């Protein structure tokens, strides 16, 4: 028998980002590049600006960088802070940790609230730190809305309320890289000063675009901030983007894709998008319960609807399970990151995703558990029961 060199069927990309890019977005990207100083590009840029604001829940300016989300992290910090400024962060997982490293490398004074990677940012702990900071040395609070390494969603509105109760003037910065376009988010209503986002998850694009949504308070802080900045400078970007241009060469083809993705979100309606992700999150958690495995997230208020992180039993290797599933069923699952390496696998269920795709994903995991010899019950049946229940009535207004 000849060795198999071709795998038939589609690859199931069920990592929590980059996510599956829908055909409409791929076809939009697959266009000839245009003059980024011409009128067609200007119309493209201004249309995107209008479509972006509802997704962020923001009325103020949104800057788009050709970069990964890490660039947007750095931009948030360098545009608002000065050397030696203190930043309060919460250790909620690998990505909160990585953001804190950027802050340290920039010469900021990091105040990290320790965490167990199973809970989100603690509003009470943040409020206590701020109440004790009577000199207002803390200039910013930076948290991750949806921690991609743990599938824990922090309660941003409660963090904002804690800051307000403390009467503290610190800026609030929020990473929404794995929540924007998947989990309800309200930049303005929640009093966020800088929202960080990326293109490769709920926005259904390849990696390559990053975003900062900016409040008036953050803009005011940028006028006196003294951290060095050039590529990331908001003033250059804002001066150009107000009229539909960029201060340097933009990622034109990615912007074609972004416009198409935003049209898709608008056509479905954001309320329906959030409801769909909530159904898929609940169905996946029911599967985990049926399998007899354990979620990383401990607080039901903080369960993520865009991905699920699952611990394997003691004595088993999560990465070996992932390798088995990839080899046998051509499906990629997310690895455990940082201190969760080898102990956790992650199922992404965000972006361009439907019930049948989730059913196939959960069947693949259950078959993989069988092959790997990991003790488990039936998780597929309770998940399918959730998916076959009538979906909530669609929201007709957007």
User: Taking the alpha carbons of 273, 355, 200, 264 in that order, is the dihedral positive or negative?
Assistant: negative
Do residues 16 and 307 make contact, with C-beta atoms less than 8 angstroms apart? yes
CA 132 to CA 121: how far, in whole Å?
A: 18
Do residues 29 and 253 make contact, with C-beta atoms less than 8 angstroms apart? yes
CA 327 to CA 316: how far, in whole Å?
A: 18
Do residues 147 and 177 make contact, with C-beta atoms less than 8 angstroms apart? no
Residue whose tokens read 């319960």: 289
Q: Is 343 annotated among the ligand-binding residues?
A: no
CA 249 to CA 87: how far, in whole Å?
A: 32
SS3 128: helix
First to last CA, the chain: 57
Number of Cβ atoms within 10 Å of the Cβ of 221? 22
Residue whose tokens read 């049946």: 381
Query: Residue 129 corresponds to which tokens in the numbers above?
Result: 């730190």
Do residues 139 and 87 make contact, with C-beta atoms less than 8 angstroms apart? yes
SS3 209: strand
Phi, psi (degrees; rounded to nearest 5) at 106: -80, 0
Do residues 367 and 331 make contact, with C-beta atoms less than 8 angstroms apart? no
| DSSP conformation class of 390 | P
Binding residues for substrate: 346
Point out the annotated binding site: 346
């Amino acid at each position: 028998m000849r060795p198999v060199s071709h795998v038939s069927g589609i690859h199931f990309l069920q990592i929590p980002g980059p996510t599956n890019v829908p055909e409409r977005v791929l076809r939009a990207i697959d266009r000839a590049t245009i003059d980024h100083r011409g009128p067609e590009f200007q119309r493209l840029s201004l249309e995107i600006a209008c479509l972006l604001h509802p997704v962020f829940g923001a009325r103020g300016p949104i800057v788009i960088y050709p970069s990964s989300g890490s660039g947007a992290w750095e931009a948030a910090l360098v545009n608002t802070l000065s050397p030696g400024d203190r930043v309060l962060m919460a250790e909620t997982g690998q990505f909160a940790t990585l953001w804190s490293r950027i802050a340290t490398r920039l010469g900021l004074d990091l105040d990290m609230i320790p965490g167990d990677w199973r809970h989100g940012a603690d509003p009470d702990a943040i409020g206590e730190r701020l109440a004790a900071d009577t000199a207002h040395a803390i200039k910013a609070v930076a948290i991750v809305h949806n921690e991609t390494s743990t599938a824990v969603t922090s309660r941003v509105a409660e963090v904002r309320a804690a800051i307000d109760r403390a009467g503290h003037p610190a800026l609030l910065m929020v990473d929404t890289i794995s929540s924007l376009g998947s989990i309800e988010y309200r930049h303005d209503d929640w009093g966020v000063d800088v929202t960080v986002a990326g293109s490769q998850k709920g926005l259904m694009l390849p990696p390559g675009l990053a975003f900062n949504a900016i409040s008036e308070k953050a803009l005011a802080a940028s006028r006196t901030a003294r951290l060095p900045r050039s590529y990331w400078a908001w003033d250059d970007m804002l001066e150009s983007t107000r009229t539909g241009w960029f201060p340097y060469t933009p990622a034109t083809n990615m912007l074609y894709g972004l416009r198409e993705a935003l049209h898709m979100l608008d056509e479905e309606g954001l309320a329906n998008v959030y409801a769909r992700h909530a159904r898929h999150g609940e169905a996946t958690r029911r599967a985990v319960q049926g399998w007899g495995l354990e979620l990383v997230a401990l607080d039901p208020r903080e369960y993520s609807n865009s991905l699920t992180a699952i611990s394997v039993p003691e004595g088993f290797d999560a990465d070996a399970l992932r390798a088995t599933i990839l080899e046998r069923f051509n499906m990629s699952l997310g690895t455990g990151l940082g201190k969760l390496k080898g102990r956790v696998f992650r199922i992404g269920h965000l972006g361009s995703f439907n019930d049948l795709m989730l059913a196939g994903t959960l069947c693949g995991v259950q078959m993989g558990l069988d092959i790997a010899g990991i003790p488990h019950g039936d998780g597929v049946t309770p998940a399918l029961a959730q998916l076959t229940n009538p979906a909530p009535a669609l929201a007709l207004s957007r």
